[in-house]
Amino acid sequence: MGLLQDKVALITGAARGQGRSHAVGLAREGAHIIAVDICDSAPVESMAGSYQLATRDDLDETARLVEELDRRCMTYVADVRDRAALDQAVLAGVDELGQLDIVSANAGIFAVHVEEPTEPAQRMQVWNDTIAINLTGVWHTIEVSVPHMIQGGRGGAIVITSSTQGLKGAANNDIALTSYSAAKHGLVGLMRASAIDLAPHSIRVNSIHPTGVLTPMVDNDVFAAYAEKHPRLGEIMKNLLPVAVVEANDITNAVLFLVSDHGRYITGAALPVDAGYLTG
């Protein structure tokens, strides 16, 4: 029997990268999954420079991998910026699977552009989309999930995916990095306030703070071109341990610890998975 046998976990940004890894990792420990992702239902250029967002096929592949583990996976296309759509997705998932015990608020973007936007309207677009997805979208996720968790009466666990940039911050005269850092810092405040508010219901809330993770958000031609243009980025993001990036599964292991009984008395904590980045 797994650590999460027959629990139900909601994961946003589940189509690929860390979200897919979390879905598979939690399913391997016995959880059923509600997998949500925006897929390609919104213009790529408005949110993420020009790198390709996940597709419906990616989300279906996540479901296939979960179902191979003999766990159920309900998939929904929804934008975390759209509270009503997200609410409907979560409601449908809970209706199908009967409960909600775990939330991985993982959806996020890094809206990098090779050529730095200079027009005020362009810069505002990057700022607004980054804050709306990376911060407000997490708040929406908590807002629509918590009533189901309270109604279940079993407590539960919420893990917010922040970043090392939510504890340290970095800057490169770049609106994408500035807005990303601001949003990820905001998640720490949201996590702590939510941990206080939800403790009477035995719902634990924590955040994880990865260093660079090898996912499509950074493993793409746009980011590669950006890194080539800004060679000091390697120094800004350098880890203490001799690894450039970690794997998605390294973050999944931290999520699993926090949502299982191994972390049953941990709440209000900001857990780095950073290869020493914050110490260096």
Residues assigned a catalytic role: 180
CB of 105 closer than 8 Å to CB of 12:
yes
**Containing H/E element for 205?**
strand 203-210
**Containing H/E element for 223?**
helix 221-229
Read off φ and ψ for residue 209, nearest 5 degrees. -130, 85
For tokens 């666990």, name the residue: 157
Whole-number Å distance between alpha carbons of 104 and 121? 32
**Token pair for 270:** 């900001």
Q: How far, in whole angstroms, is CA 114 from its chain's centroid?
A: 24
DSSP assignment of 74-122: EEEE--TT-HHHHHHHHHHHHHHHS---EEEE--------SSPP-SHHH
Angle at 10 between CA 188 and CA 89, to 5 degrees: 110
Burial status of residue 171 (CB atoms within 10 A of its CB: 0-12, 13-18, 19 or more): exposed
CB of 36 closer than 8 Å to CB of 94:
no
